[in-house]
Structure 1
Amino acid sequence: MQQIDYYMSVVSPWTYFCGSRPVEVAAKHGVRLRYRPLDPMALFARTGGLPLGERHESRQAYRFQELRRQSVKLGMPLTLKPAFFPTNPAPAAYAIIAAQEVAEETGEGDIHALVQSLCAACWRDEKNVAEDEVIGDCLEAAGFSRGLLMSGLISGADTYARNLEQGLLAGVFGVPFFITGDEKFWGQDRIDDLDRHLAGEF
Structure 2
Amino acid sequence: MTQIDYYFTVLSPWAYLAGSRLEDIAERHGASVTYKPLDIGQLFGRTGGTLPKDRHPSRMEYRMQELKRWSKALNMPMNHTPAHWPTNGAPASYAIIAAQSAGGGDLGALVHGIMRACWAEEKDMAQDDVIKTCLSEAGFDPGLADSGLLAGAEAYGRNLEDAVSAGVFGSPFYVCDDGEKFWGQDRLALLDAHLGAEKG
State the AA in 2 paired with 1:80.
H
Provide, for residues 14-58 of structure 1, a one-character-per-residue CA deviation record: whole Å limited to 9, x for no partner. 000011100010011101011000011111111111110110110
Task: Give the match for residue 116 of structure 1.
Answer: 112
TM-score by length of 2: 0.97
Structure 1 residues 123-134: aligned runs within 5 Å = 123-134=119-130
What is the SS of the residue equivalent to 1:5? strand
Are positions 1:176 and 2:166 aligned together? Answer: no
Task: Give the match for residue 163 of structure 1.
Answer: 159
Task: Give the match for residue 194 of structure 1.
Answer: 191
Whether the aligned pair in 2 keeps the contact of 1:10 and 1:122 (CA below 8 Å) is no
What is the SS of the residue equivalent to 1:140? helix
What is the SS of the residue equivalent to 1:79? coil
Give the 4+ runs in structure 1 shifted more than 6 A. none
Distance 2:146 2:56 in 1: 40
TM-score by length of 1: 0.96
Provide, for residues 115-168 of structure 1, a one-character-per-residue CA deviation record: whole Å limited to 9, x for no partner. 110010010011111110000000011111111011110000000000000000
Q: How many residues align?
A: 198
Distance 1:16 1:145 in 2: 23
Cα shift at 1:177: 0.1
Distance 1:116 1:159 in 2: 20
Cα shift at 1:6: 0.4
Structure 1 residues 86-101: aligned runs within 5 Å = 86-101=86-101
Give the aligned CA root-mean-square deviation in angstroms: 1.1
State the AA in 1 paired with 2:107.
I
Whether the aligned pair in 2 keeps the contact of 1:7 and 1:38 (CA below 8 Å) is yes
Structure 1 residues 1-202: aligned runs within 5 Å = 1-103=1-103, 108-180=104-176, 181-200=178-197
Distance 1:29 1:60 in 2: 36
Distance 2:53 2:20 in 1: 29
Cα shift at 1:111: 0.7
What is the SS of the residue equivalent to 2:81? coil
Whether the aligned pair in 2 keeps the contact of 1:175 and 1:186 (CA below 8 Å) is yes
Q: What stretches of structure 2 of length at least 5 have no aligned partner?
A: none
Q: What stretches of structure 1 of length at least 5 have no aligned partner?
A: none
